Amino acid sequence: MKKSTLLIALFLLALSGLMLHLRIHNFMIADKLHPGTFLFDPTRFLATLFPLVDVILVTALFMSRKTAVYGYLLNGLIVIYGTILMAHFSISEMTVKSIPLSSMLLKSTLPDIGIAWGDFFVGKALYDLYMRGTS
């Protein structure tokens, strides 16, 4: 497989994760006291920061063989932190809302965690390609 194909796949997975985060954790929330105005929520912004770093910095680091190791490391850290945080918030929300076990998997963040790990394994394949010295 070519390096450019994996790089595009890495970028698209990271961009998809960012778009999901912006849809779910929009950091500009409507002000209930003043309709038509929005407030900045720093907590939700932090949830968007990891995928933003993934789209911009990780993709940029994977563009060069010299910096691919840092891209691989940062990509792995983002996926691990993302998995822990998404699983934590999903489990805590499921227990608060008393969602039945039968529908828990589809209403959890498990599909989002799968996208994050897919992003990681595409990055691993790209890193392995760089380390073998092929294009």
> pLDDT of 24-49, one tens digit each?
888 898 888 888 899 998 888 888 89
Torsion sign across C-alpha atoms 12, 14, 53, 127: negative
* 134: its two tokens: 């092929």
The yes-or-no verdict on residue 72 having pLDDT over 90 is: yes
* 7: its two tokens: 């790089």
> pLDDT of 78-93, one tens digit each?
999 999 999 998 888 7
Q: Is 116 exposed, middle or buried (0-12, 13-18, 19+ CB in 10 A)?
A: buried
Q: At what angle do helices 110-132 and 68-97 cross, to 10 degrees?
A: 170
Task: Give the Cα separation of 50 and 70 in Å (integer).
Answer: 15
Q: Measured in whole angstroms, how far is the alpha carbon of residue 95 from the centre of its chain?
A: 24
Residue 29, strand partner residues: 39
Contacts of 22 (CB under 8 A, 6+ apart): 48
Contacts of 35 (CB under 8 A, 6+ apart): none
Task: Give the Cα separation of 77 and 70 in Å (integer).
Answer: 10
Query: Rounded to two decimals, what is the model's pTM?
Result: 0.86
Task: Give the Cα separation of 77 and 100 in Å (integer).
Answer: 32
Pairwise pLDDT comparison (21 vs 71), residue with the higher score:
71
